[in-house]
Amino acid sequence: MRSRSSCSRASEPRARALAVLAFVLAGGLLVTPAAMAGGEAPGWMHALVNVPLPAHDEKTDAVLLYSERVVTVESVDRIRTSVRVAYKILRPSGREYGRVGVSFHAGQKITGMRAWCIPTQGKDYEVKDKDAVEISLPKIQGSDLVSDVKDKLLLIPAADPGNIIGYEYQEDEQPLILEKVWYFQGGAPVREAHYTLQLPPGWEYKATWLNAPEVKPVRSGNQWQWVVSNVKELRPEEEMPPWDAIQGHVIIAFYPAAGGVPGKTFSDWRQMGNWYLELTRARKEASPEIKQKVAALTANAGTSPDKMRAIALFLQKDVRYVAIELGIGGWQPHPATEVFTHRYGDCKDKATLMGVMLQQIGVESYYMLINVERGSVTPQVPAYAYAFNHVILAIKLPAGLADNSLFATLPHPRLGKLLFFDPTDELTPFGQLSGPLQANYGLLVTPEGGELIELPWEPAAMNSIQRSGKLALDRMGTLKGTVEEIRRGDRASEQREYLTTATREADRIKFIETLLSHSLGTFQLTKATMSNLQNTDQPFAYNYSLVAPYYAKPAGNLLLVRPRVVGIESRGFLETKEPRHFPVEFRGPRQDTDVFEISLPEGYKVDDLPPPVNLDYSFASYHSKSEVSGKVLRYTRTLEIKELSVPASRVEDLKRFYRAIANDERNTAVLKPGP
């Protein structure tokens, strides 16, 4: 998609620019410009020298003193934007604000980039447009990316604490879509931010405010200006919602009074679906070679689901991910015939080819536009092209089809039962979805137009670790035995992805060693094997044997034994002094189980057991129990994530939940000598 993060995670604009700058600096591609001491900063910056600062604290790196964005729409084919930004640096880590990065593509031109520094003492510094450099975006890992997006980069000298730095530039654009997004909230407190929209006579606009109260503009003729002030900064928190779900911003669409411009404007999701349908209409032809391939793939498949699986596996394994996004190619897929011939394409290309191949076996499918970060798109978000950064398929299942392996399904009132599948995801089997796509909103594109729908949740057991161990404890406290881990869903995909990048056998068992090191003080891994590394339609499994000296701790003539041998379900990221501001987001539904059986040493019996733990919250549950059966100490537990978001108002409950799990994981059974 034209987010320029197609088939990958999108990021907050400034954070993305800084990531590119870090890449450039690491490669030595950008050097400090020859700043002109005495190049006096403009009057709009000097007017900010003594202004009061917005509310902040001792951890604030910088404050945004002033920003101004003037958007002048000259016609449906030309928009001019002037930008001014000024910060005051407060801490050494605020120097990053002196690194300016502006993205542009073939339909845009950045001119007049200049920057200044007003130091607390001495003369002003100036850097000019000629000191800026232009680079192409670095490649996406695992693909060969061809894109017309570039970044224009400029370093502002002396971006030191106490100094004011600022910059300005102009952008000329030939817009593909008549819409803009104004992000007025970010990682620095905002003193004052302006946004001005200048439209041709007779034009209209629609502004939608998200994550902030609406501010009415001041109108002067065909010009509208919005001003916000004293906007709080946003600080990252672990497991927080995506940036678009919390960041104050405005989506502005504009169009001639006579109506929208076909292909450049849409007032609702239905129109956006029609727009995307037109982009793809001539791309879905089947060549004789495609038909022959489908026949070969499905020749030995007896049922309709088996035929669909064969096609899906071909798209996952034999069509390589490569994004080629030039101009409208950020949204428009390549023809299916080209994708098939070259055996590569990005998410929308893969979806297009798979849809064409499914047609050959009589199965209909539809594009599903989605954002890979759940929460970025909600029913409150208006229809706009930059909402999505990924494309998957919604497959119309034959009426009456019953297949218990197809979990990612949803009944549609008009289309019947739909199965959602991501052909770009090589590690998630047909019939399932990765966690971030579940319970996520996407745009279903059908011949009747677009429709925003919520994708299904899968049962928590489909994303799980089932760990079981049979071990024996001797009188010296040494624990020996075997453990099996069966992983499904994302828990399996994570391991497969890690292991496919490991080049040495030692690297392949590193994960197991790390897992054990978090639970055991000393141990020796004596054997380790894995199952179904390549068979993604089967659960992935680890099997390993271990010896853990001094596992049981002596206390006089007693032995203290922890029933929970390996695996940690507690989390400590909420144990901070800072109050939590944002919800806690889970990747997806999840259910983990542990069963450990420890044979007791000869001459010992259990004198005391840890108490059972039963925690039931709306968002999660945890149950554990230690018991004795003959000469075996048996520990069982189950953790289930039932809701994907825990609001900030319930974070204390989640903190208590994790603390109780941590206590249970530390608890010990007491063994004493018996007759």
Give the 3-state DSSP-derived string for 264-289, with helices as H, strands as E and coil as C. Answer: CCCCCHHHHHHHHHHHHHHHCCCCHH
The secondary element (H helix, E strand) that includes residue 317 is helix 304-318
Q: Which two tokens stand for residue 222?
A: 């065909």
User: How far apart, in whole angstroms, are the C-alpha atoms of residue 414 and residue 133?
Assistant: 53
Output the pLDDT for position 404: 86
What percent of the chain is predicted at pLDDT more than 90? 83
Q: Which residues pair with 598 in a beta bridge?
A: 471, 633
CB 227 within 8 A of CB 190: no
Q: Inform me whether the pLDDT recorded for 242 exceeds 60.
A: yes
Q: Which helix (H) or strand (E) holds 656?
A: helix 651-666
Tokens encoding 205: 């606009």
Residue recorded with tokens 């922890």:
562
Q: Are 640 and 615 in contact (CB under 8 A)?
A: no
Report how far residue 588's alpha carbon sits from residue 230's, in angstroms, rounded to the nearest whole number: 36
| pLDDT, tens digit, 9 for 90 and up, residues 529-587 | 999 999 999 999 999 999 999 999 999 999 999 999 999 999 999 999 999 999 999 99
**Burial class of residue 575 (count of CB atoms within 10 Å of its CB; 0-12, 13-18, 19+):** exposed
Sign of the Cα torsion 511, 516, 517, 523 reads negative
Answer yes or no: is pLDDT of 15 > 60. Answer: no
CA angle 625/631/636 to nearest 5° reads 20
Q: Which among 435, 475, 413 has a CA at the least distance from the CA of 588?
A: 435
Does the structure show a pLDDT above 80 at 285? yes
pLDDT of residue 334: 95
CATH (residue range 13-256): 2.60.40.3140
- Which pLDDT does position 235 carry in this prediction? 95
d(CA 316, CA 353): 11
Q: Are 497 and 560 in contact (CB under 8 A)?
A: no
Give the pLDDT band of residue 3 (cuts 50, 70, 90): very low
Average predicted confidence (pLDDT) for the chain: 91
Nearest to 185, CA basis, from 562, 491, 540, 581: 581
Q: What is the pLDDT of residue 502?
A: 81
> Taking Cα atoms as reference points, which of 39, 2, 91, 654 lies closest to residue 325?
2
CA-to-CA dists, residue 304 to 22, 110, 317, 399, angstroms: 49, 53, 20, 11
pLDDT at 262: 75
C-alpha 472/C-alpha 482 separation (Å) is 9
The residue among 461, 459, 457, 534 whose CA lies nearest residue 493 is: 534
Residue ranges, comma separated, of all CATH 2.60.120.1130 domains in the chain are 461-673
Q: CA-based angle 667:670:671, to the nearest 5?
A: 145
Boundaries of CATH 2.60.40.3140 in the chain?
Answer: 13-256
Residue 294 CB: number of other CB atoms within 10 A?
Answer: 21
Q: What angle separates helix 304-318 from helix 347-359, to the nearest 10 degrees?
A: 150
CA angle 423, 424, 425 (to 5 degrees): 90
Does residue 146 surpass a pLDDT of 80? Answer: no
CATH code of the domain made up of 269-455:
3.10.620.30
Q: Where in the chain is the domain with CATH 3.10.620.30?
A: 269-455
Q: Which positions ≥6 away from 180 have C-beta within 8 Å?
A: 71, 197, 251, 252, 254
Higher pLDDT, 639 or 15: 639
Look at residue 371 and tell me whether its pLDDT is greater than 70.
yes
pLDDT at 450 over 90: yes
DSSP conformation class of 108: E
Which residues, 6 or more positions from 201, have their beta carbon under 8 angstroms from its beta carbon?
222
pLDDT given for residue 149 in this prediction: 83
Nearest to 649 by CA among 589, 582, 575, 574: 582
Are the C-beta atoms of 541 and 485 separated by less than 8 Å?
Answer: yes
What are the tens digits of pLDDT across the range 485-514? 999 999 999 999 989 888 787 788 888 999
Burial class (CB in 10 A: 0-12, 13-18, 19+), 43: exposed
Structure-model confidence comparison of residues 107 and 247, the more confident one = 247
Within 10 Å of residue 126's Cβ, how many Cβ atoms? Answer: 21
Dihedral pair phi/psi, residue 572, rounded to 5°: -110, 10
Residue 413: exposed, middle, or buried by beta-carbon count in 10 A (0-12, 13-18, 19+)? Answer: exposed
Query: Is residue 27 predicted with pLDDT exceeding 50?
Result: no
* Bridge partners for 558 per DSSP: 555
Looking at residue 138, its pLDDT comes to: 58
- Asked if 273 and 443 touch (Cβ cutoff 8 Å), the reply is yes
Q: What is the distance between the alpha carbons of residues 484 and 541, in angstroms, rounded to a whole number?
A: 7
Q: Over range 394-399, report the average pLDDT.
A: 95
474 is written with which tokens? 């001797």
pLDDT of residue 143 exceeding 70, the answer is: no
Tell me the residue type at 107. G
Angle at which helices 490-501 and 510-517 pack, to 10 degrees? 120
> 461-673: what fold?
Jelly Rolls (2.60.120)
Q: Are strands 179-183 and 125-127 parallel, antiparallel or unpaired?
A: unpaired
CB of 133 closer than 8 Å to CB of 29: yes
Whole-number pLDDT of residue 14? 43
CB 242 within 8 A of CB 440: no
Count of C-beta atoms within a 10 Å radius of residue 521:
10
Q: How many CB atoms lie within 10 A of CB 604?
A: 19
pLDDT in tens, 263-275: 788 889 999 999 9
**57's tokens:** 């604290």
Q: How confident is the model at residue 7 (pLDDT cuts 50, 70, 90)?
A: low
Q: What is the pLDDT of residues 31-73, one digit of tens each?
A: 455 555 557 999 999 999 999 999 999 999 999 999 999 999 9
Whether 431 has a pLDDT exceeding 80, the answer reads yes
In the chain, DSSP finds a helix count (H) and a strand count (E) of 11, 39
Q: Choose among 277, 288, 298: nearest CA to 340.
A: 288
